Structure 1
């Protein structure tokens, strides 16, 4: 794109947390993407909330200060069913109205903006979860185990369906590739964990183990506290962890950025 007047840049947007380790894992992931894309494409990391000086507007301004004319904003969230993905897109000016009311304000964006896609049932993400299961001690004989993927979810119908669609796609892919006896998904909102465990137990032979797998970007309150509490008394094994850090999440971001960069050069 040299000589075209186009200077691309990438902004990776995550939720944010007051937990330093949560933020560090996101920063490590974005640093990996920066290395993969090379120095010609600036990559910045920003957060919806809770990380002072690193919010979305801060990231936009850092990129524009480097001369960026075309900006790809990638929401590092697990699902399009996250209401945050919707409100961030509206805030960036990707569409005229959000699907639900938001307290966010419109960002100031001078660059030409493309709003990327959040995580869904992409193959890299299924591979991340399967890799983490292999590294853990909770899954040892997939043919005699059922997976239960657990996501945050939403009480609102459209968002809830998006959550289910993405998680069900991941579950089906993981069952097929990993050779598991079964796979299902459960949301925390609305509460579905106990019901899904009962359904899995009722549809598989006695003695089939259920391995609960959290599908969250980074480890934190939900993976360490909320989900274990919901699993109490269910007899499930719990594969505690999160999607990052993992090189295949970096690859997922890099692939989305590379496809966008190719579209700019057409």
Structure 2
């Protein structure tokens, strides 16, 4: 009974940002090595403050799905998980006992030595004859990083991989170049004399940089682009997909997990198991959770929107896997991304038919951590985090929320939280409802979510705008 948690950044604005983590979670899940594979995010649900609660095991390995070490892997993620660690993570990772669970936190996948093989795999995709000595001798590899002056570790992984591949002797030359830092990728014609140039973006996913910025800056027209007027004569640039989207990343994840989990397997978390046993028993008798109606169905369990009760099944799109349901409920009826799952925007027109084993993951994708937190509330073990504590944890562009007054926070919360099924414990009276009684608003909210934090920041920024100040003057006059 070991659980694996893959942690990504996530986004309030773009649902695609979580795609890579979902993809690798499914690949690893298919291996059957772990009792469960869970996704968690900084700016999406389940949040880093919630995700450990959703684990069924007392032995949990957490892998940050980032391409390099840096602020998020060394500061944000350990802080939000409550690991009591800040700064560089040692090679073997760190281990802490949190709430009866042994939590092992590893380095990000991008720094693992096996990433050299991923870079080579990408190069071979665009240049299949690379292993022929005469081709390798006339080929230069460029490992392309983003580059930043804010954290030198993000460049170290690029330099380290370039040096290791240089020692293998496969290529005539190996260069580490950057998009936003010297030496910049645009200087490749001055540095490379080989006829073939393979550029491998050391990025976690496809995005604006890999699809737009880099091709535009280099004048690339596709996978292979011929340049006839370089200082070294005609040269062909081969541009690969980013390393972070290669299927081999699943192998890197498994190796990281194996290296971090040398101890015995964990036990089943009894409180967690009791919560889901109770919910499953209630579900077989018919149950409402938020906007979801759960009903018995031919020995299985059916989930649908409560407003679709009684609607013919032929009118509903049926899902038989939690993953299919996940992709549907991440969007509302208009096809817009739902940044907070407990917003009252759950789409209609679907049903999911699952067995007891898949019920937990299916409901988790609809309402992450709701079962665990609601059960904890009824057992008087759910601790609310006051707004000032949440605000003090914010850094960077979100640090300004520490200056928000109680009245400003409440004004924003009145607008944002009115659309949510949760009831605020961090700024409200106790709920007074029972476990899963089907009352809207009966879902506890122990801490202000990152979406609300962003909304408070936006409000403070708007108040400083010239338009807002002019409006305030008019109101005062």
TM (norm. structure 1) is 0.74
Matched position secondary structure for 1:180: coil
Please report how far the alpha carbon of residue 89 of structure 1 lies from its aligned counterpart in structure 2 after TM superposition: 2.3
Q: List runs of 5+ in structure 1 lacking aligned partners.
A: 1-6, 100-108
Match for residue 143 of structure 2 among 149, 153, 163: 149
Matched-pair contact (CA < 8 Å) for 1:28–1:245: no
Q: Is the 8 A contact 2:178 2:185 kept in 1?
A: no
Q: Which residue of 2 aligns with 1:243?
A: 243
**C-alpha separation in 2, matches of 1:131 and 1:22:** 24
Q: CA deviation at 1:139?
A: 7.6
Displacement after TM superposition at 1:23 (Å): 3.2
In structure 2, distance between residues paired with 1:214 and 1:62: 34
Distance 1:96 1:27, change over 3 A: closer
The number of equivalent residue pairs is 236
Give, in whole Å, the separation in 1 of the partners of 2:129 and 2:77: 37
**Residue 198 (structure 1) shift:** 5.4
1:43 to partner: Cα distance: 1.4
Match of 1:263, SS state, is coil
Once the two structures are superposed, what CA deviation does each residue of 1:125-152 show, in whole Å capped at 9, x if it has no partner? Answer: 1112211221225985332121111122
Bigger RCO (CA 8 Å, 6+ sep): 1
Q: RMSD value over aligned CA atoms?
A: 3.0
Please give the per-residue CA displacement for 1:74-115, whole angstroms capped at 9, x wherever unaligned: 1111111x322222223223345469xxxxxxxxx6333222
Matches of 2:219 and 2:188 in 1, distance apart?
A: 12
Aligned with residue 65 of structure 2, among 46, 52, 76: 76
**2:123 aligned with 1:129:** no
C-alpha distance in 1, partners of 2:16/2:128? 24
Residue 252, structure 1, aligned to residue 239, structure 2: no
Q: Is 1:13 aligned to 2:3, yes or no?
A: no
Is 1:61 the equivalent of 2:53?
yes
Give the greater-gyration-radius structure (CA): 2
- Alpha-carbon distance between aligned partners in 2 of 1:122 and 1:44, rounded to the nearest angstrom: 21
**SS at 2:248 equivalent:** helix
Question: 1:106 — aligned with what?
Answer: none
If the length of structure 2 is used for normalisation, what is the TM-score? 0.44
Q: Distance in 2 between matches of 1:35 and 1:98?
A: 33
Counterparts of 1:139 and 1:47 in 2: how far apart (Å)? 40
Offset of 1:35 from its aligned partner? 2.4
How far 1:196 sits from its partner (Å)? 5.1
Map 1:166-205 → 2, pairs under 5 A: 166-177=157-168, 179-190=170-181, 192-194=183-185, 197=188, 200-201=191-192, 205=193
The alignment status of 1:218 with 2:209, answered yes or no, reads no
**Correspondence for 2:18 among 11, 14, 23:** 23
Give structure 2 stretches of 5+ with no counterpart: 89-97, 228-235, 266-477
Aligned residue in 2 for 1:165: 156
Q: Tell me what 2:31 maps to.
A: 36
Aligned equivalents of 2:111, 2:259: Cα separation in 1: 18
CA displacement at 1:257 relative to structure 2: 1.4
